[in-house]
Amino acid sequence: MRELGIEAKTGVGGNGVVGLLRGAEAGKVVALRADMDALPVKEEVDLPFKSKKEGVMHACGHDTHVAMLLGAAKILSDHKKEIHGAVKFLFQPAEEDGGVGGAKPMIEAGAMENPKVDYVFGLHIEGDHAAGEFALTPGPTMAAPDGFKLKVIGKGGHGSQPHKTIDPIFVAAQLIVAIQGISSRMIKQTEPFVISVCSIHSGTKDNIIPDDAFLEGTIRTLDEKTRARAKKLLKQVSDSVCKAFGARCELAFKKDAYPVTYNDPETTGRVMQVLKKISRTKVVEARLGGEDFSRFAQKAPGVFYFLGTRNAAKECVYPNHSSKFKVDEDVLKIGAASLASVALEFTK
């Protein structure tokens, strides 16, 4: 960015980087955000830029997000005289953290101030949409991801005498079934909602009933009312099931979980008109993945949109977070153009 004549700060809120390009005339301040972390996945795609770190890969396209934002920075620096106001470039770490994330410390370090941001936009590569296709959703667009840990506390003993124990594995099994009842019987069916138990650990040997069992999972919701009710119901169901079998439990939710990602409807409509001039664009349903772009969108009207990369001819057919995820690199110029065009539109 410095080579392009853009003011740049490093170490913003930890490992964040913020660039500032001031326009020739007065106008609004637009922030463009790219996330820049990876995932604990072993890469199974043979590429020139394949991960050099075993067990870690850019399985969600974050390397391409950085590339597209740098591309937009190049375009905008070449058209500096057309910018009214200023453009901020937010390179944010730790989106995949799922808890505090990288957006919060960057905001606390002043990334959205001096000058104050009027609009904020984020672009994400998506393996489910056709290459070169934009997709966006007005209103709630991504979920609040509430991770939870549940400890079932029983009483261990010999596997041949279960009647003398309080078997936490048995209780955990009943609990997993009961938890699904929250989704199917306790939350209104028209409300977007997911609860999943994704991890279970207990025991050390085939003839020992252990003292404890540990469950981990996630709740995904698109509004705060449902979010609060779901967390309350999980506590209620867990306590009741454990009590019925003589066990007890301890439930903890991940602190500082991301809020719902909300696309300002009016701003989304304007963005859609810009995107339609670049490539085919469609409105899609909200998804229940989580994003800490949501924190930026709480500070200024924002839009988080997607760019498809699915292309069977190039074997780009695997979804985000897959060990075989691959991006059709021809879409990168489209993404860079979209970010630059949105910035020019909204700084006016």
| Stated length of the chain | 348
- Indicate if 119 belongs to the active site: no
- The CA–CA distances, whole Å, from 11 to 53, 102, 106, 201, 340 equal 23, 12, 9, 38, 25
Residue 329: active-site member: yes
CB atoms within 10 A of CB 342: 25
Residue 46's contacts (CB-CB under 8 Å, 6 or more residues apart) are: none
Active-site hit among 258, 262, 291, 305: 258
Closest CA to 340 of 153, 161, 98, 123: 123
| Per-residue CA distances from 272 to 128, 226, 251, 290 (Å) | 19, 29, 42, 22
Task: Tell me the C-alpha distance between 337 and 331, whole Å.
Answer: 10
Whose tokens are 């069977």? That residue is: 312
Dist. CA 19–CA 72, nearest whole Å:
12
Among candidate residues 191, 216, 329, 345, the one labeled active-site is 329
Catalytic residues: 258, 329
